């Protein structure tokens, strides 16, 4: 199983989305986004924004990086600060 986390406004859009997904060989954040698009097209559209980052086990990752079973996958919205 892979634990899914959605931060900031992405958490609002992801209301009702499962908090985990079954792990499979070669699963990537991009593939997770595509799987979510089937049932949650508005969430997938938000996740497709170029400013959205992903992290795997609390490390910023590429969208094509494989995800190991038991990992935590987080989707991070753009952040501003000052």
What's the angle, vertex CA 45, arms to CA 42 and CA 50, rounded to 5?
150
Give the residue-averaged pLDDT of 58-78: 96
Residues 62-66 have a mean pLDDT of 97
For the chain, percent helix, then strand, then coil, each to nearest 5?
30, 25, 50
Spans of all domains in the chain: 8-68
- Cα 69 from chain centroid? 15
Query: For the whole prediction, is pTM greater than 0.85?
Result: yes
pLDDT digit string (tens) for 47-60? 999 999 999 999 99
Check if the beta carbon of residue 56 is closer than 8 Å to that of residue 37.
no
What is the DSSP-derived secondary structure letter of residue 20? Answer: E
Residue range 12-40: mean pLDDT, rounded: 93
């Amino acid at each position: 199983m892979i634990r899914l986390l959605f931060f900031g406004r992405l958490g609002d859009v992801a209301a009702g989305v499962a908090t985990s997904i079954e792990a499979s060989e070669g699963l990537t954040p991009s593939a997770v986004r595509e799987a979510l698009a089937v049932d949650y097209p508005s969430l997938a559209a938000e996740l497709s924004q170029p400013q959205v980052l992903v992290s795997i086990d609390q490390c910023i990752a590429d969208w094509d990086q494989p995800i190991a079973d038991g990992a935590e996958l987080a989707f991070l919205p753009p952040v501003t600060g000052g």
